[in-house]
Amino acid sequence: MIPEFELITHVLCPYVQRSVIALQEKRIPYRRTDIDLSNKPDWFQQISPLGKVPVLVAEGKGALFESAVICEYLDEVTPGTLHPEDPWRRADHRAWIDFGSGILSEIARMYSGATREAFDTACETLRMRFRQLDERLDNGPWFAGETFCLIDAVYGPIFRYFDVFDTALDLDIFQNAEKVQLWRSHLRTRESVRQAVTADYPERLLAFVGNRGSYMSSLIEGAIHETGRKAVNSG
């Protein structure tokens, strides 16, 4: 019998989104508890040794931290699998999942860089990473063709960043990565991916980046100001 699950989350965390997508895809009942990572509750400190989300709390068992571990556990305790059956393909997927974690780190460098040089360097690295990913992809619609896998749950939150950023800025991150763009468009419409965030996620993300005091913050704030000015003038 599968225990009752509670997922401890933060509204913007992409690693949380991985876990939510896995829960949705495996049709596992759960309840979600969002916390403020800038003011962590005492009880959270006791179940998350690294002070990070997500944390999966299972009734009668305890707590698991680290999204990769959580997703693997959820896959193992439910019928079917979100991994390929073949050991080599499964290992290949795990390698590209790790590659995706590296992309998330580069996205953080992009929106946190204090200077234009740091921002431009991160953007160019991201373009290179997506071109590398493009070379690996087949014809889709998912990473493994017709079958949605755990690796798709990893890249859905990655692409969501750019779905939001593209509403304010022209970053042109996916140049010469047509297959990645196609994969991205399919993931955008997957119900589990759509439900992994709250309806106000775009506004929250833009506000978060806008308040970073980084070079990208100034671009976001400038874009929002210009949009507001045009709206006033057109009214």
How many CA atoms lie less than 13 Å away from 28 in the CB half-sphere? 29
Task: Classify 180 as helix, strand or coil.
Answer: helix
Nearest-angstrom CA–CA distance, 22 and 75 = 8
Active site residues: 13
Nearest-angstrom CA–CA distance, 10 and 17 = 9
Q: Could you give the angle at the alpha carbon of 231 between the alpha carbons of 228 and 235, nearest 5°? A: 145
- The token duo for 138 is 């087949």
**Which of 88, 170, 166, 103 lies closest to 134, judged by CA?**
103
Residue 126 one-letter amino acid: L
**Which of 148, 142, 158, 172 lies closest to 205, judged by CA?**
158
How many CA atoms lie less than 13 Å away from 191 in the CB half-sphere? 5
H or E stretch at 33: strand 30-34
Nearest-angstrom CA–CA distance, 40 and 8 = 11
CB-count exposure of residue 40 (10 Å: 0-12, 13-18, 19+): middle
